[in-house]
A and B are shown apart, each in its own frame.
Chain A
């Protein structure tokens, strides 16, 4: 008999019905080293009455003009070297470009300016029904 076979026999030797007790509770408080790279995100409607659908670690967004928004973080980033993912669309059309940071702006630890344009980057800003912004660090 091989050792692998011996272990298998041991495992099947105890019927499940005879196993009693419960697993220890884990509340997570003792866990360390857990840190998600996603530091903030927001999903908002940039048309009509601009409104936030859902967000995390975002205190507000600032409507700065057509297609131009500032994302204000509830808790500042550790530095301004974070990465930003920006996308979105209208329900009625497609073909937009996105700039991060917005022209003339620089990333800050407390906020980032973003712009959506109707066409190539640098063209007129466009208000979109769905704007998605996520911050990684």
Chain B
């Protein structure tokens, strides 16, 4: 195939999917092999009470909230990472600085919202 699929890795950097001749289309491979991530959707805010804080102070300290402060409420859902299908010619061939390659999430417009 002359196409590649790119997406952002969790720790930074770019992942590049190289499709195999397996009978699947590039879109089907993207749907299958681009990983998912947990996305937080905020639905409101609440004020952190003393009782809530005392129940798990380590958690609230890690989250950076103190008693009396507002914190976001909502839910997490698993969504596929945004990706982009590009021509193989768009991928650099000089891999000397491969681990420093980066891509803006704003450019990853394929598959979003599917």
A binds B: yes
Query: Which one, A24-32, A62-70, A83-91, is touching chain B?
Result: A62-70
User: Which of under 10, 10 to 19, 20 to 34, or 35 or more describes the interface residues of A?
Assistant: 20 to 34
Q: How large is the interface on B (under 10, 10 to 19, 20 to 34, 35 or more residues)?
A: 20 to 34
Which of the listed residues A47, A49, A55 has the most CB atoms from chain B within 10 Å of its own CB? A49
Task: Count CB-based A-B contacts (< 8 Å).
Answer: 71
* B15/A59 in contact, CB under 8 A: no
Interface of A is mostly: strand
Q: Is B24 close to A, CB under 8 A?
A: yes
Do B20 and A49 have beta carbons less than 8 Å apart?
A: no
Tell me what chain B mostly uses at the interface: helix, strand, loop, or mixed: mixed
Q: Which residues of B contact A99 (CB under 8 A)?
A: none
Contact B19 A59 (CB under 8 A): yes
Q: Does A61 contact B (CB under 8 A)?
A: yes
**Nearest CB on B from A58, distance (A):** 5
- In the complex, whether B47 has a CB less than 8 A from a CB of chain A is no
